[in-house]
Amino acid sequence: MAADTVTRTPAVARIRETPLLRWTLELDGIATALNGLVYVLAAGWVGDHLGLPTALLYPAGAFLVVVGALVFTVSTRREAPVLWVGAILVLNAVWAVDSVIVAAAGWFDPTAAGRVWILLQAGLVALFAVLQWAGLKRARR
């Protein structure tokens, strides 16, 4: 007697059918990649104005360009595994929390403008995470 096997398919998010999720992923991808490009291409200028070291801005910028491209790519799919969207959402939440910690602790000795920028960025990234969570709830099947 053969054992019964159950084939399970991973949960899928219908990105194209869920405008909130699609638009949030698109905007997140674009904003993230553009922010990263600025950090990479103008690290000296950004560092001078925000009080952040270029040794932080170059790798952070490169990371953001790659992540932004990946997030945007996910936004162009008709469907994607819920795990992918969940990973983007968690990454955004972690980035937002870490940014608040960096600003509050004064790590890297940012200027006042640097602290404001870090907190504004944290707020935007947290908003993306919340909207992606709401969109993901609508997009699951």
Find, among 114, 92, 94, 95, the residue nearest to 103 by Cα.
114
Report CA Rg, the chain. 18
This prediction's pTM:
0.89
CA distances from residue 128 to 22, 40, 69 in whole angstroms, order as listed: 11, 23, 16
Residue 20 to residue 18: CA distance in whole angstroms: 6
Each residue's pLDDT tens digit, 76-121: 999 999 999 999 999 999 999 999 999 999 899 999 999 999 999 9
Looking at residue 106, its pLDDT comes to 86
Looking at residue 44, its pLDDT comes to 97
- Conformational region of residue 68, where left means phi above 0, alpha means psi within -120 to 50, and beta covers everything else: alpha
Each residue's pLDDT tens digit, 31-45: 999 999 999 999 999
Structural tokens at position 128: 């993306």
C-beta separation of 128 from 17 below 8 A = no
